[in-house]
Amino acid sequence: MAMEGEKRRYITSEELRGHNTKADLWISIQGKVYDVTRWVKDHPGGDIPLLNLAGQDVTDAFVAYHPGTTWALLDRFFVGYLADYRVSPVSRDYRRLVAEFARLGLFDKKGHGVLFSLIFMVVLFVVSVSGVLFSTSTFVHLIGGSLMGVLWIQSGFLGHDSGHYNVMSTPGLNRLMQILSGNCLTGISIGWWKRNHNAHHIACNSLDFDPDLQHIPFFAVSSKFFTSLTSYFYERKLAFNSIARFLVSYQHWTFYPVMCVARVNLFAQSAILLLSNKKVPGRWQETAGCIVFWIWYPLLVSTLPNWTERVVFVVASFAVTGIQHVQFCLNHFSASVYVGPPRGNDWFEKQTMGTLDILCSPWMDWFHGGLQFQVEHHLFPRLPRCHLRRISPYVKELCKKHGLPYTAASFWDANVRTIATLRTAALEAGDLANPVPRNLVWEAVNTHG
């Protein structure tokens, strides 16, 4: 820090932008500039958020993801002051809201939702396993598989929450909950999820930076994917070849069937990360947890009397969990998209433009797990889901004040919007200058009107 009487160092935004690589990474927070190059590898949120916002003023993203106690940790990285630091009206109001919610203690008050979720999950697990082990009824086994799917959905919500804030009383217990509810119970690496999800939040609906939109060759929400964009998350080109064009041409018909087996992709992505040379905090915990899943779940399925019932049980559990995969897509597939890296100076605007809320009654909140207030969650990711309905009017008012979109639709309408988005891209894929040869089936399912 500059001592009293010592000449201050001022850094322009242009100079700041020049420090935007992993080997030379500066950011600005609240008018101060920090050299966080040495911190990238140790950042709890991973390297991707810092790399995506390198060389920029990141104040809005910083206050969204960090409690007040982290401000003191910045001093060791301080290098100077941002000479042309400015705060937009929307950012000023947003930061006031964050401060007000913190003053009210909303970030710390988690309610009893976690306890209820845990009790519900235990009941689902016991009933599902008991149905397999102690009943000879095929129907009971089918119900058991379906309940296993519901269990995985609730586990997904709990894992999501624990990745954003401590759902338990201490970080250690929170980590234990992550491994148990994620890796052990569902076979999905919480480390993979956090890496993927943090990138999604920072670069919400950027076609080349947000992994939650990068589903080539199966899905494309925009014709911009037809140019074979490079994914900065996967570090490879998303090749839009003849196979991708064919699959995308039918995507509005294959969307729900693919969602029924989308869990397979999460298994694969988890394994790829854990076997890679990328840094994975607690890799041995992650790996051991996934191994636990691949022991108990196949063992449970093997106790069923025949292969038909085994397949039915697995398909039922995967298909029911597909509801959650659909929910993930509804919040963003039909919203505004863009190409390019995220920017710190329009962070609030990008979150609202790229996100859609689901309208529902309070008694259905358990079904959506907080995802129904996606706009609120993206703006205040550290806020426990029990407060999202309470703060929704404040977010609507702020969006209205600054002329920003606040999009909300019923669960049904959100599905209609998503399918419409996929259909539009499918028709565009089929109408390219050198289209895949069409057949009678394609003509039948893609006829206008």
What is the arithmetic mean of pLDDT over 336-352? 92
Lowest mean pLDDT among 109-113, 270-274, 366-370: 109-113
- CA dist 352 and 356 (Å) reads 8
What is the predicted pLDDT for the residue at 165?
83
pLDDT for residue 447 = 53
Checking if the pLDDT of 12 tops 60, the result is yes
Write down the pTM of the prediction.
0.91
pLDDT for 259: 97
In this structure, the strands spanning 24-29 and 20-21 are antiparallel
- The Cα-based distances of 125 to 14, 104, 116, 145, 146 in angstroms read 56, 37, 14, 10, 11
* Average pLDDT, rounded, for the chain: 92
Closest CA to 149 of 313, 320, 325, 327: 320
> Which domains, ranges and CATH numbers included, belong to the chain?
10-86 (3.10.120.10), 87-449 (no CATH)
What is the model's pLDDT at position 113? 82
Tell me the pLDDT band of 251, cut-offs 50, 70 and 90.
very high
The reported pLDDT for the residue numbered 344 is 85
- Which tens digits make up the pLDDT trace of 131-169? 999 999 999 999 999 999 999 999 999 999 988 888 888
Confidence of residue 15 (pLDDT cuts 50, 70, 90): very high
